[in-house]
Structure 1
């Protein structure tokens, strides 16, 4: 019986290169094979790819097993929801047209079994991180995307992959360490959102650190971790949300 909703983020497939990424892709496909048995829905919260750009007629090559498995699961009738991250923010309509997977560019609210969720990738939210917020405005500008599209894909993709790995400002992530509740931007963001509306769960990625923190009365902030070092994911069974590690 299908009873669970699954959440995962920050796979960064393609980093640091296709050869080293491949075992992680295989592991993620194995996870998808496992959860599809009892999943009522699957949420992917961004940075599935370390870089993604959709030209009018071209997308980055590779990731065939991951994309094929997502297509298989979606074709079986299980809903999949995708939220762009800061590494795949140039996603347009490829997932929607080819895989029938809706793509969201900002947070979205959901209700499951009378539990309310606020879900998103999490980049650029909360106080601070001003350098990345300025950079994101440049990257999401229509003129910037138009200029980049004029680069030949062999040049544009290679350049973007290099910058994605090397430049922490572009990646939006500092050294991954817990900063304390009073300094975690997404924790502060979650608490601020709760000032105007109640959510049972506020679920994000981006920080690469698996954590669940009480942020209000009957409200929890969760970060899903990543599929680089933690291989963690979230699961909601209809009553409770928890983080698990895929071995």
Structure 2
């Protein structure tokens, strides 16, 4: 029998009701992969958007929360770091899904290594327009005011923001929308970590720089040709592996 997978990391699924193949791929991952692990880290943008925990009444969101809760009830510890699409997730969702909310930078220790976990959007510092927007919407006062609006109004605002974001992305360079070396180096320095795992950029890779390893998670699009998606795993021997959507180990 080979090494046992202990920890799994995923991000950028962008779950939404009108992408049933994506939903089924995620539920299959929970049932076939995550159920045998000890810990699962959701590193942001699990949902395409999150308008507030009162949207848990939505049948689709209830289904996803129930699937996570079933996994947690089965003994898997689930942890959440917010992404740029679902940073409004709060304690009500966390309780329904049986998961623990983490701050936007989190360090775990495994086999003598410090591994820092982030979503990745805060490290895209060359995108000054986005960074200004991010600073605004992460303010507690802004969130309190926004969440006080009716749910339908919040969803309409979010739809407008998503449209603007798509237009902006078409005008931005490839480099501006990626993390910057300076921001990545700062996270390593601040946390004294030697390994980083993040998502956000949709550019899965392994980067080795100056004695550090940076693993980038993929976004999920099982409907694409070829399908995109996957996860990162740590086994009981300490090996970190990148996996495609079908479970194949990537090198």
Place the TM-score, normalised by the shorter chain, in its bin: 0.7 to 0.9
In the alignment, the residues of structure 1 paired with residue 39 and residue 126 of structure 2 have an alpha-carbon distance, to the nearest angstrom, of 33
Residue 33 of structure 2 is aligned to residue 40 of structure 1: no
Residue 179 of structure 2 is aligned to residue 185 of structure 1: yes
Residue 225 of structure 2 is aligned to residue 226 of structure 1: no
Shift of 1:126: 5.3
Closer/same/farther in 2, CA of residues 67 and 2 from structure 1, 3 Å limit: farther
In the alignment, the residues of structure 1 paired with residue 197 and residue 31 of structure 2 have an alpha-carbon distance, to the nearest angstrom, of 23
Q: TM-score, normalised by structure 2?
A: 0.82
Closer/same/farther in 2, CA of residues 127 and 158 from structure 1, 3 Å limit: closer
Match of 2:133 in 1: 135
Match of 2:71 in 1: 73
Residue 9 of structure 2 is aligned to residue 7 of structure 1: yes
**Aligned partner of 1:112 among 110, 113, 137:** 110
Residue 194 of structure 2 is aligned to residue 200 of structure 1: yes
**Over residues 93-123 of structure 1, what are the superposed CA-to-partner deviations in whole Å (9 max), with x where a residue is unaligned?**
1233223311123111100222220001011
Q: By percentage of residues, which structure has more helix?
A: 2
Closer/same/farther in 2, CA of residues 104 and 178 from structure 1, 3 Å limit: same
Shift of 1:163: 2.4
Shift of 1:137: 1.9
Aligned length: 237
Closer/same/farther in 2, CA of residues 97 and 244 from structure 1, 3 Å limit: same
Shift of 1:86: 0.6
Match of 2:234 in 1: 236
Match of 2:156 in 1: 158
Are the equivalent residues in 2 in contact too, given 1:191–1:216 (CA < 8 A)?
Answer: no
Q: Secondary structure at the match of 1:242?
A: strand
Q: Secondary structure at the match of 2:123?
A: coil
In the alignment, the residues of structure 2 paired with residue 195 and residue 95 of structure 1 have an alpha-carbon distance, to the nearest angstrom, of 33
When the two chains are superposed, the root-mean-square deviation of aligned CA atoms in Å is: 2.8
Gaps of 5+ in 1: none
